[in-house]
Amino acid sequence: MSEKPFHDGPSERAAITEQAEQSLVAAVGVMRRRLRLIRDTPAIVNDIKHTMDVKVPPHELTVLQVLWERERQSAFNQSAADEFPEIREEFERGIRDLMVAQKERVSARQAHNTARNAWKEDPAADRRIREMEKLPLDQFHSPYRGQPEIYNRGVVLAFEKTIASAIGRSRISWTRGTNDNKSGGAILDVFVAAIQWATCVAWQCSAPPGAKPLKVRAEGLLRIVKGARRKE
């Protein structure tokens, strides 16, 4: 069965963002009941929403600005190479000549794909470059080898801190299923719902046409949280 076409007009985007907000409110309500919190749901949700104004490293942009910037990068990466065909062709020739000079066998297709990728903004590579500045030269490796960055670390950790503070804790916690080994729990559900809502807000305003909102996954967020805790 073929997948239905995705429609992302202004009304559809607004509806998806509204649904994400409702999911956040519902998750906070469940968490309140299970943890027997005194604070009411609107107060906790309000704290979570104010995370959008928190400044995160390394550039001290707010969470909202970081999320907007990621949507802008997505739009740029989709269209930049096609917007400047003459420069792109010159880029391809230069890459092909360099590969030939290094005695690498390269096809026109490989040169085209390499040139197209070279246009892309890569926040994960930028982060790796900053981290490698602190390493000895013998530990250098290409910052462009690795998975794309799905979630911004600063954004994830800012929401973790807000949620932990809102429930009177120093950090969030979660459980691990004995049957399926999956992470879960009421606090984790709020964590996922909060970042889902935040990404939808930025997506609604700034995503390129036809782009679907990011589907936030708990395990991806927890990898960042666990990594930060190992460095403490």
Q: Please give the pLDDT value at position 1.
A: 43
The pLDDT value given to residue 148 = 54
**Average pLDDT, consecutive stretches of 10 residues, N- to C-terminus, the chain (232 residues):** 59 94 98 96 97 92 91 70 71 70 65 64 64 65 58 95 96 84 92 97 86 91 94 83
pTM (2 decimals)? 0.75
Domain residue ranges in the chain: 10-230
How confident is the model over 51-60, as pLDDT tens digits? Answer: 999 999 888 9
Q: Got the DSSP string for the chain?
A: -PPPPP---HHHHHHHHHHHHHHHHHHHHHHHHHHT-SS-HHHHHHHHHGGGG-EETTTTEEHHHHHHHHHHHHHHHHHHHHH-HHHHHHHHHHHHHHHHHTT----HHHHHHHHHHHTS--HHHHHHHHHHTTS-GGG---TTSS----S-HHHHHHHHHHHHHHTT-SS---EE-TTT--EE-HHHHHHHHHHHHHHHHHHHHHPPTTPPPP---HHHHHHHHHHHHHT-
